[in-house]
Amino acid sequence: MAKAKVTMEVGNDGVAVITFVNPPVNALAIQIFAGLKEKWNEAAMRNDVKAIVLTGYGGRFSGGFDINVFEKVHKTNDVSLLPDVSVDLVTNIMEDGKKPAVAAVEGLCLGGGLELALGCHARIAAPRTQLGLPELSLGVLPGSGGTQRLPRLIGLPKAIDMMMTSKPIMSEEGEKLGLIDAVVPSKELLKVARQWALDIAERRKPWMRSLHRTDKIGSLSEAHEVLKLARKQVKQTARNMPQHLACLDVIEEGIVHGGYNGVLKEAKVFEDLVLSDTSRGLVHVFFAQRATSKVPNVTDIGLKPRPVKKVAIIGGGLMGSGIATSLVLSNIFVIIKEINPEYLQKGIKTVEANIRGLVARKKLQQDKANKAFSMVKGVLDYSEFKDVDMVIEAVIENVPLKQQIFIDIEKVCPPHCILASNTSTIDLNVIGKKTSSQDRVIGAHFFSPAHVMPLLEIIRTEKTSAQAILDLMAVGKTIKKVPVVVGNCTGFAVNRTFFPYAQSAEFLANLGVDVYRIDAQIISFGLPIGPFQLQDLAGYGVAIATGKEYSSAFPARIFKSPLLDLLIKSGRNGKNNGKGYYIYKKGEKARPDPSVLPIIEESRRLTNIMPGGKPISITDQEIVEMILFPVVNEACRVLDEGVVVRASDLDVASVLGMSFPSYRGGIVFWGDTVGAGHIYKSLRKWSELYGNFFKPSKFLEERAAKGIPLSAPAATSSASRSRM
């Protein structure tokens, strides 16, 4: 890989073109900043240089600050590793320098890259260049003057929107807003930028210092109103995250006390935020997601993925139609097989409705939707399976049915065809037991709704070939999922880790804790919905079917509650029939149903676990801990058994598959943030009070005793039992 460097070429026209080079996206490594300072100072002192153009190598300006530096800061707690860019380089050397500078941007101009461009005196862009400040998505704020200069160029409302959402805009919109001075064809970019820089030097064009502008800010009272509204929105949309409000405070500082004071406050707040738990969690998830693409003995043995052009899906229900939607949107031809014309028609219509929904929400263009419609076909038998590259079985969780399907597809599909199951719980060795092509049997576990949720859990058995795994990983990436490869066991990695989640909630309900309070505390922690509303949405049949699998696999640590059976007996089935713990009416927000309380009381009477027959007294924090510590405990068993390649894979899977808050870093990372010692002591106390359901695992006990993080790689004794 090319070494990060900064080059400078001075043309006969007197323009110094300074280029940063750090492929593939010209990330702003520490040596880039040092090189920029050196070259800028050299250009300032040279008599043959009239003006400067700043650009990036290889058709990209810059993807932003090198976040490997954040990782180093998090490991060392040393903020002095961060370079002084904002005041020293961008403000003093670039913006207040004696020679005008123009940024020539194309491809990507994000984060620190855009902030460097904002420090120049004009910005020329190639068409469709991405411009954005996504720093809040990593738990920090723009730290090189972006909070001050962007509002001064495009106005406060749009600047706040760009920073709060971390969403980029295109250069065409940037030109309309005043962020970009001109959009020109890529081949003319440098020529126009050079001339523009000379025009500023010779006073034919204005020499604009962004930090000194106030014309787009509006009056102080208008600015206060905009900021007040933004704060209100942020409190609803970004709960538990400090960076959004901190960013608004820094913007306000600059408006009230001037841009330079804003820059000084921004630099200080940036350092505080880098060391926050939120930044640590978000940066961890960022790197953890990258690491999922490295699977030992699969991605490192020289294999190449084979093309998958045609996929058959057996079962056109909610999951099957969702998977089909994902595939056709990525130009993979799909055959949906159903058992009768009515089910088949329903499945095809669901795929079409999914696609139309994307068009309606402006996430897909009509011509691409039309192409997707043409890529799906319905069948009632196996006659068209002779040339498929992969089959995904997506029928109900019924072992004999799944086994028969695998016997049938092995006979009719070509010998290279991957035989995949979308089971969420059942051991793949059981499903593929009666097939002879064990090396082609694999799990492709999508999460519902499959065309929306970003995780693809790939389950390998001891016999699954590296080629089949690699092929499915490639399909996952093609359809814009994040593939995480895991070992085979009941529930696999994600559902296995989270199976105590609903049971903990039911345990608390049977101890007398209000179910709506439980849901509220889990939402307050950062999950989108609580465990009882989740049961309502998934349907009680799913919970009962998967519960049976876990009861037979892990009988010693199951909590059996009569609650779901009582709800079903009373004619409730959650959202499916509008009645569960909540009442569901079309077009209305779900609301608690008081008539469910006698059913919960009946469950409490039958389980009879309330101490002295009275509801327990419990704090909000204890509610969260009693629900999530058993999940961390099960994650420890998953790690100990080698079900995942690395602990961070389980973090990514928990965030993308179970909507665990990304700013908490994933389930294992959060466990380490809380501390293995505290989790172990709490579980031991509850297990003494309430029994085996809370019993700490050996892995957790060892880690707590030795002070070793849960995420540290397992010892060799554990690795020898690995399911990977």
Residues 463-502: pLDDT tens digits? 999 999 999 999 999 999 999 999 999 999 999 999 999 9
pLDDT above 70 covers a percentage of the chain that reads: 98
Mean pLDDT of the region 348-354:
96
2 pLDDT band, cuts 50/70/90, is: low
| Cα three-residue angle 355-357-363, rounded to 5 degrees | 80
Is residue 716's pLDDT more than 50? Answer: no
Instruction: Output the pLDDT for position 542.
Output: 82
SS3 532: helix
Instruction: Output the pLDDT for position 448.
Output: 86
388 pLDDT band, cuts 50/70/90, is: very high
The residue among 462, 347, 486, 465 whose CA lies nearest residue 417 is 465
327 vs 476: CA distance, rounded Å: 9
Instruction: Output the pLDDT for position 639.
Output: 97
719 pLDDT band, cuts 50/70/90, is: very low
Mean pLDDT of the region 125-136:
98
Active site residue 172: no
Instruction: Output the pLDDT for position 545.
Output: 83
Instruction: Output the pLDDT for position 287.
Output: 96
604 contacts 685 by C-beta, under 8 angstroms: no
650 vs 653: CA distance, rounded Å: 5
328 pLDDT band, cuts 50/70/90, is: very high
Instruction: Output the pLDDT for position 177.
Output: 98
456 contacts 481 by C-beta, under 8 angstroms: yes
Is residue 213's pLDDT more than 90? Answer: yes
The runs of H, that is alpha helices, within 375-465 are 399-412, 428-431
Q: How many residues does the chain have?
A: 724
Residues 604-617: pLDDT tens digits? 999 999 999 999 99
Q: Which two tokens stand for residue 509?
A: 């309900």
Cα–Cα distances in angstroms (integers) from residue 541 to residues 347, 575, 596, 658, in the given order: 20, 12, 18, 19
395 contacts 315 by C-beta, under 8 angstroms: yes
Task: Identify any residues that bridge with 123 across adjacent strands, giving them in sequence order.
Answer: 103
User: What is the overall mean pLDDT for the chain?
Assistant: 95
Active site residue 115: yes
Half-sphere exposure (CA, 13 Å, Cβ side) for 289? 19
Task: Identify any residues that bridge with 20 across adjacent strands, giving them in sequence order.
Answer: 6, 56
Is residue 151's pLDDT more than 80? Answer: yes
Instruction: Output the pLDDT for position 724.
Output: 64
Per residue, what are the HEC states of 187-242? HHHHHHHHHHHHHHHCCCCCCCCHHHCCCCCCCHHHHHHHHHHHHHHHHHHCCCCH
Task: Identify any residues that bridge with 102 across adjacent strands, giving them in sequence order.
Answer: 53, 122
Choosing from 115, 393, 410, 457, which is the catalytic residue? 115
DSSP string for residues in 627-684: HHHHHHHHHHHHHHTT-BSSHHHHHHHHHHHH---GGGT-HHHHHHHH-HHHHHHHHH
Instruction: Output the pLDDT for position 36.
Output: 97
Cα–Cα distances in angstroms (integers) from residue 667 to residues 239, 281, 648, 658, 674, in the given order: 18, 10, 9, 10, 11
Instruction: Output the pLDDT for position 3.
Output: 84
Cα–Cα distances in angstroms (integers) from residue 408 to residues 107, 383, 557, in the given order: 49, 11, 37
User: For the whole prediction, is pTM greater than 0.75?
Assistant: yes
35 pLDDT band, cuts 50/70/90, is: very high
Q: Which two tokens stand for residue 487?
A: 């070992």
573 contacts 579 by C-beta, under 8 angstroms: yes
Is residue 1's pLDDT more than 70? Answer: no
Task: Identify any residues that bridge with 56 across adjacent strands, giving them in sequence order.
Answer: 20
Choosing from 95, 106, 135, 457, which is the catalytic residue? 135
DSSP string for residues in 129-152: -EEE--GGGGTS---SSHHHHHHH
Instruction: Output the pLDDT for position 473.
Output: 98
SS3 365: coil
Mean pLDDT of the region 275-291:
97
415 vs 467: CA distance, rounded Å: 13
395 pLDDT band, cuts 50/70/90, is: very high
Q: Which two tokens stand for residue 158?
A: 């749009």
What is the helix (H) or strand (E) element at residue 41, kind and residue range?
A: helix 30-45
Which has more pLDDT, 722 or 684? 684
Q: Which two tokens stand for residue 421?
A: 């199951």
Is residue 695's pLDDT more than 60? Answer: yes
Residues 529-586: pLDDT tens digits? 999 999 999 889 888 888 888 999 899 999 999 999 999 999 999 998 999 999 999 8
Q: Which two tokens stand for residue 315?
A: 């079962």
Instruction: Output the pLDDT for position 723.
Output: 66
